[in-house]
């Protein structure tokens, strides 16, 4: 009997849970795959594995505590893996945090995957730019650059705003609309986003794991821009939150300078639903949508060809979890 396919997921956060669930969704996958979820946070990791583990059948999920800055740990976990999915990333932290995780850590994962002979899918972000003055897009861009140097056949996926039950965007603003008399937008709220359903990102990773040679040839060494079927302005997204929350609130434009002041204060405090950083405010000045650059692949095109159909719209998914109170994050 052939050995089960081994897939390692580096990162056990929101998107990682969707990827793991997709990879073991069918009984056939459960019997033919071994999926290893890794993280430094063992308590969080164990809870996630317990929640996702199918009952009454094979146990395809396991966990391993791994520090992506420890190359020997990576080598041990990646041994015999056919695919590594790297979800290395943070939303807030110091300059050193961003560089250690999104740049050097991502490179470590790529080096270890290459040495193990495993395919690599790395999750980056639309707007990644090694020359950006902002830490998040800069280190995402530097990570991409070094990943492709270390693992030239890697596939990089750049999502726009990722949504789905458990997300920290729509659920966050739905909660804010419960307790605030208005919803804020910085600038005039005209920045454009192309929200992508987390399960659709997971679907293309599942297709890559499936080994279709045509797909593998198409994505080898390439960047996939991952947006959903619709483009919305920031203000339109706030209106969508209110629509599916069944409540009305005015949407108040605030100057970017107000956001910078808020960010300077909130950066020093524990995270709450009001938290924002100065870099995040600055990022809101740039659109977050797929480009028309022919060197990049489109998630929608790939899903239509290899993933079973087009990506889902916000309007398809949001009503299933907003305003479900159990999915809204706590204020503190």
How crowded is residue 31: how many other Cβ atoms within 10 Å of its Cβ? Answer: 12
Give 231-243 pLDDT, tens digit per residue. 999 999 999 999 9
Pairing relation of β-strands 196-197 and 162-163?
A: parallel
What pTM was computed for the model?
0.93
- Quick one: pLDDT band at residue 269, thresholds 50, 70, 90? confident
Three-state DSSP class for 327?
helix
Contact by Cβ (8 Å): 331, 228: no
Give 77-136 pLDDT, tens digit per residue. 999 999 999 998 888 889 999 999 999 999 999 999 999 999 999 999 999 999 999 999
Nearest C-alpha neighbor of 159 from the set 209, 123, 203, 208:
123
Nearest C-alpha neighbor of 109 from the set 61, 69, 141:
69
- Quick one: pLDDT band at residue 12, thresholds 50, 70, 90? confident
* Domains of the chain (ranges, CATH numbers): 5-163+196-228+287-310 (3.40.50.720)
62: left (phi over 0), alpha (psi -120 to 50) or beta: beta
Q: What is the pLDDT of residue 58?
A: 80
Average pLDDT over the chain, rounded to an integer: 91
Give 19-45 pLDDT, tens digit per residue. 999 999 988 888 899 999 999 888 888
Q: What is the pLDDT of residue 327?
A: 40
Contact by Cβ (8 Å): 142, 211: no
Q: What is the pLDDT of residue 330?
A: 37
| Beta bridge partner(s), residue 186 | 254
Three-state DSSP class for 324?
coil
Question: Is pLDDT larger for residue 41 or for residue 279?
Answer: 279
């Amino acid at each position: 009997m052939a050995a089960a396919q081994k897939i390692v997921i580096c990162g056990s956060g929101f998107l990682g849970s969707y990827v793991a669930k997709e990879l073991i969704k069918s009984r056939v996958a459960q019997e033919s795959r071994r999926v290893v979820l890794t993280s430094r946070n063992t308590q969080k990791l164990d809870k996630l594995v317990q929640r996702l583990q199918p009952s009454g059948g094979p146990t395809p999920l396991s966990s391993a505590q791994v520090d992506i800055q420890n190359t020997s740990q990576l080598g041990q976990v990646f041994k015999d893996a056919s695919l590594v999915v790297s979800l290395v990333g943070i939303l807030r932290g110091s300059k050193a945090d961003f560089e250690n995780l999104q740049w050097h850590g991502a490179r470590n994962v790529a080096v270890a995957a290459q040495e193990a002979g495993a395919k690599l899918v790395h999750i980056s972000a639309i707007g990644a730019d090694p020359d950006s003055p902002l830490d998040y897009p800069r280190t995402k861009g530097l990570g991409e650059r070094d990943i492709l140097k270390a693992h030239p056949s890697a596939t990089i996926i750049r999502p726009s705003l990722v949504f789905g039950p458990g997300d920290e965007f729509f659920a966050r603003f739905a909660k804010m609309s419960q307790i605030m008399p208005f919803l804020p937008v910085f600038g005039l709220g005209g920045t454009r986003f192309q929200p992508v359903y987390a399960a659709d990102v997971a679907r293309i990773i599942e297709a890559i794991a499936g080994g279709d040679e045509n797909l593998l040839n198409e994505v080898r060494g390439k960047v996939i821009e991952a947006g959903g079927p619709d483009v919305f302005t920031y203000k339109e997204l706030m209106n969508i939150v209110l629509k599916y929350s069944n409540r009305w609130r005015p949407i108040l434009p605030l100057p970017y300078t107000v956001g910078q002041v808020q960010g300077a204060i909130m950066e020093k405090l524990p995270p709450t639903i009001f938290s924002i950083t100065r870099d995040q405010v600055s990022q809101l000045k740039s659109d977050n949508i797929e480009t028309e650059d022919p060197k990049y692949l489109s998630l929608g095109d790939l899903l239509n060809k290899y993933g079973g159909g087009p990506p889902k719209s916000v309007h398809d998914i949001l009503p299933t979890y907003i305003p479900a109170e159990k999915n809204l994050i706590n204020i503190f």
